[in-house]
Amino acid sequence: MNISVSTKISNPILPGFNPDPSIVRVGEDYYVATSTFEWFPGVQIHHSKDLVNWRLVSRPLCREDQLNMTGNPDSCGIWAPCLSYSDGLFYLIYTDVKRFDGIKDPHNYLTTCSTIDGDWSEPVYLNSSGFDPSLFHDEDGRKWLLNMVWDHRPNRNPFGGIFLQEFDVEKQALVGSITNIFSGTHMGLTEAPHLYKRAEYYYLLTAEGGTGYDHVMTLARSKSISGPFEVDPNGYLLTAKENPSLYLQRAGHGDIVETPEGDVYVVHLCSRPLATIRRSPMGRETSIQRADWSEDGWLRIRGGGNEPSSEWDTTLPLHPWPSSPIRNDFDTSDLPMDFQWLRTPHAHELFSLSERPGFLRLFGKESVGSLYRQALVARRQQAFSYRAETKLEFQPKSFLHMAGLINYYNAHKYHYLFVSLNDNGQRQIAIQSCQGDVSETFEFPLSDTSCDSFTNDEGAITIHSQGAIFLRCEVIDERLTYYWSEDGEVWNTIPLVLDNSIVSDEAGKGEGASFTGAFVGMCCQDLESNTVYADFDYFDYQEH
């Protein structure tokens, strides 16, 4: 006799910047696709066999014909992909948002692949009427595209409802009329549509209230795919908006999946604010909740109520994957999976793993925060406290040449420990911080501009040797401290405690409209000729 043993699991299941989850089950395998915004390659797809242990297996949008975000503003790019499976193919629907303010210019595409980690097809253009597109495969074989519509007209609700239109597989095009099937509830900001069929009903899952602390998940149903849709009389399926003390906040935008045994789970985005301040350096992450269908045909979070839980029980056999290494020595031909860069599909212009085998060579490009060619390679912060370290070989020839270790959110929010050259021709270590807003306060002197460098004679550290420099950061909640060493053994502390909460969704410029998360990594700038490079021997990331 088989006895199921319950195991207590902690949320989130995908820690660190992994928002807008779309989940699909193929046999006994589960896949979740999440947004990547301006980070390249586009879309993260994680794989699991137990809904507990996940591994990153694919970033499918890796070619210029699939994605080119050069010039895209911060927090634009890939919004809310939808992953589904039918007819022996994985279907990936995604948006490339080209403009943040006003008209979004959200271009929606479809790409397919027979395997999750294979070479995905050249994309099919769908429409540009709104974002958060998804594809529904009906029981009769027809396929339907849904997306929220962006109404740019003055004095209108910009979240103009959910559009539905048929997709013809043979023509590889949208066909027939467009129907606005759902205008949402009083919460407004209706987005993130997913459609399901169960018994006699079509169920429409949406997110509302914005992706901040008023975020909610709304379920509605209809016996017709085109509506009208009746909203669950019991209220929101999931939200944290009424309880600011919850560990998981900003719960909403998500998807539903069933196991082969018929158990139901809801994946959803959330954030984990710092205990001391309502800021979330790790951005919006992915969590999961158990759910059940009620006797009257509505989905309910298991345990009662509609709040997200920081823990859940599973009876599925656990299937762990090997842990990611703490150290990456850059001794492979491809960039390690944990790392990404910004916007451009032309990676060879920014970095190389073959120019000097065993090193990541970054070719100095534009300034930190550039929307075009920025030589910055980084990985997600996935815990409140961690340590990162790298070994840098760099010979700047001017103060216009910089390379080092960066804690980065976007063009307006970062801390940067770098090596450069002073006016006496000596290498020096300095810190550049961009606080996101002129009202922010730092514990070291800055001018009254929002971005400035701690590079005056009193602050910068002169390096008398010409050898490699080791750089380290230590993050403990909202506190960031930098260190440097000439031999990797004896470490010197830079006597500044920086505010790491600035590197978050809610801080500074873009508050309420920042959608990514904190990264830590390496970068190099040549603001003179774009010819100087920096070599990084390794990169360590270890959580506390």
Is there a contact between 250 and 243 (Cβ–Cβ < 8 Å)?
Answer: no
Our CA dihedral for 161, 89, 46, 237, rounded to 10 degrees, sits at 30
Is there a contact between 375 and 532 (Cβ–Cβ < 8 Å)?
Answer: no
Q: How many CB atoms are located within 10 Å of the residue 204 CB? A: 25
Spatial distance between the Cα atoms of 456 and 258, rounded to a whole number of angstroms: 59
191 belongs to the catalytic site:
yes
Determine phi and psi for 501, rounding to 5 degrees.
-70, -20
Spatial distance between the Cα atoms of 67 and 54, rounded to a whole number of angstroms: 25
Is there a contact between 81 and 253 (Cβ–Cβ < 8 Å)?
Answer: no
Q: What is the helix (H) or strand (E) element at residue 472, kind and residue range?
A: strand 469-476
Single-letter amino acid, residue 311: E
Spatial distance between the Cα atoms of 65 and 88, rounded to a whole number of angstroms: 23
Q: Could you check whether the bond before residue 60 is cis, i.e. omega within 30 degrees of 0?
A: no
Spatial distance between the Cα atoms of 337 and 254, rounded to a whole number of angstroms: 25
Q: Rounded to whole angstroms, what are the CA distances from 395 to 350, 373, 434, 490?
A: 18, 21, 25, 22
Is there a contact between 249 and 272 (Cβ–Cβ < 8 Å)?
Answer: yes
Cα–Cα–Cα angle for 400, 338, 264, rounded to 5 degrees: 140
Query: And the tokens for 278?
Result: 């309502």
20 belongs to the catalytic site:
yes
Is there a contact between 180 and 161 (Cβ–Cβ < 8 Å)?
Answer: yes
Query: And the tokens for 225?
Result: 């795919």
Kindly provide the residue ranges of all beta strands, DSSP E only, lying in 44-172, ordered along the sequence.
44-48, 55-58, 77-86, 89-97, 106-113, 124-127, 134-137, 143-150, 159-168
38, 74, 132, 191: which is the annotated catalytic residue? 191
Q: Rounded to whole angstroms, what are the CA distances from 109 to 94, 306, 414?
A: 6, 33, 32
20, 255, 307, 506: which is the annotated catalytic residue? 20
Query: And the tokens for 386?
Result: 């961690």
The upper half-sphere exposure of residue 322, i.e. CA atoms within 13 Å in the direction of its Cβ, equals 4
Spatial distance between the Cα atoms of 191 and 84, rounded to a whole number of angstroms: 18
Query: And the tokens for 164?
Result: 């539905």
Q: Could you check whether the bond before residue 73 is cis, i.e. omega within 30 degrees of 0?
A: no
Is there a contact between 481 and 496 (Cβ–Cβ < 8 Å)?
Answer: yes
Dihedral sign, CA of 310, 311, 317, 318?
positive
Catalytic site positions: 20, 191
